[in-house]
């Protein structure tokens, strides 16, 4: 099986769907020939599919998202790219008031099969407007599905599922996982939404996290194994729909839960997951649910400040040790 980066796997998924279905097209700022996407995800696709189907847009985020909505409800399958997750603030009306609500407020007369790709996360020293993790905002908006792939294998299978879904899908990526490599089949496969993946099995404590934090949790788990602590690591892969069963089953087995994301702590996805687990598995918990998040500040620029901001191996390990 070929080993490829997350970036390559994502592009392969996009390419397969564009080959399969001529309604699928990509649009966004600098996605075309001259640049190939700010993170080079779409590099080469314009050459392969033409400028019409890999469409460079003006810097008009709200209209990029809105045009995706208009195209989706009239028979196309748009994949719109917002260059940085932070800039999605400019497209919130079209995403949250239009795409998310159209099917509902029109009583099921239409559906909105679109994908909005964007990228979250810090670690590149590009400060407060290019580093945030805002997935919780969308989890709080009924009508949107949310994919949060952290691995190359998952990103390919999930983008294909996202494009085929008849609903609006927020497809969130992370800057520091684009270069992560993994074995990825060349042939077609789909990963259903709402199925978490247990990335490592363990008995003493469950760690649930997203994006780069799953990678860090796995590394921490390996270290803690030397101390005799057995850590189970769960990657949800999609936040909406949410795979409760895999998480609850794990918590019932380990009795302990640590939630790790790069979001600022207050109102993060981890808060929602913690509330949900205590509602459904309170009697199985042997210790308080611990959250490891970024502090409630904007993302700082200078390397020591940013490193302090982003949860690291040490903080994850400390949270685990504190309840085991």
Residues of the shown chain interacting with other proteins in the complex, contacts defined by CB under 8 A:
25, 52, 57-58, 60, 62-63, 65-76, 78, 93-94, 97-98, 102-111, 113, 142-143, 145, 165-167, 193
Six-digit token string for 144: 């949107």
CB of 261 to other proteins, least distance (A): 24
Is 140 tagged catalytic? no
Six-digit token string for 291: 């959250």
Q: Which one, 190 or 323, has the nearer CB to other proteins? A: 190
What Å distances lie between residue 261 and 11, 24, 62, 205, 316, CA to CA? 25, 32, 27, 17, 10
DSSP state of 178: T
Q: Which one, 32 or 66, has the nearer CB to other proteins? A: 66
* Catalytic residue (one of 130, 140, 174, 215): 130
Residue with tokens 């949310």, as numbered in its chain: 146
Distance CA 291, CA 273 (A): 10
Distance CA 81, CA 99 (A): 15
CB of 76 to other proteins, least distance (A): 5
In DSSP notation, 57-115 reads --S-HHHHHHHHHHHHTTT-EEEEE-SSGGGGGGGHIIIIIIITTHHHHTTTS-----E
CB of 70 to other proteins, least distance (A): 2
CB of 298 to other proteins, least distance (A): 24
Six-digit token string for 67: 């045009």
Distance CA 69, CA 90 (A): 15
Q: Which one, 45 or 259, has the nearer CB to other proteins? A: 45
Q: Which one, 145 or 199, has the nearer CB to other proteins? A: 145
CB of 231 to other proteins, least distance (A): 33
235 pairs with which residues across the strands?
197
Q: What share of the chain is helix, strand, coil (3-state, %, to 5)?
A: 40, 20, 40
Q: Which one, 239 or 274, has the nearer CB to other proteins? A: 239
Active site residues: 130
């Amino acid at each position: 099986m070929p080993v490829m980066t997350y970036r390559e796997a994502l592009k392969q998924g996009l390419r397969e769907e564009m080959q399969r279905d001529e309604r699928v097209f990509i649009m966004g700022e600098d996605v075309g020939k001259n640049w190939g996407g700010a993170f080079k995800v779409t590099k080469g696709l314009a050459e392969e599919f033409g400028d019409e189907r890999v469409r460079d847009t003006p810097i008009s985020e709200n209209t990029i998202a809105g045009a995706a909505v208009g195209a989706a409800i009239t028979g196309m399958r748009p994949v719109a790219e917002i260059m940085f997750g932070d800039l999605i603030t400019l497209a919130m009306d079209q995403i949250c008031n239009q795409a998310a609500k159209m099917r509902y407020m029109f009583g099921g007369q239409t559906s909105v099969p679109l994908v909005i790709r964007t990228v979250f996360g810090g670690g590149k020293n590009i400060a407060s407007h290019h580093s945030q993790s805002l997935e919780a905002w969308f989890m709080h908006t009924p009508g949107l599905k949310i994919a949060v792939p952290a691995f190359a294998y998952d990103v390919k299978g999930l983008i294909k599922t996202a494009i085929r879904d008849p609903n609006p899908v927020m497809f969130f990526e992370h800057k520091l996982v684009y270069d992560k490599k993994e074995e990825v089949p060349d042939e077609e496969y789909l990963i259903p939404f709402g199925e978490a993946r247990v990335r490592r099995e363990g008995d003493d404590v469950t760690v649930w996290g997203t994006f780069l934090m799953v990678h860090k949790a796995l590394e921490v788990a390996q270290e803690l194994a030397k101390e005799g602590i057995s850590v189970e690591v769960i990657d949800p892969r999609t936040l909406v729909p949410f795979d409760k069963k895999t998480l609850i089953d794990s918590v019932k087995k380990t009795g302990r839960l640590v939630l790790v994301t790069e979001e600022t702590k207050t109102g993060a996805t981890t808060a929602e997951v913690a509330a949900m687990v205590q509602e459904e598995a309170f009697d199985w918990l042997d210790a308080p649910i611990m959250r490891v998040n970024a502090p409630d500040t904007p993302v700082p620029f200078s390397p020591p400040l940013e490193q302090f901001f982003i949860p690291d191996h040490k903080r994850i390990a400390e949270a685990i040790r504190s309840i085991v």
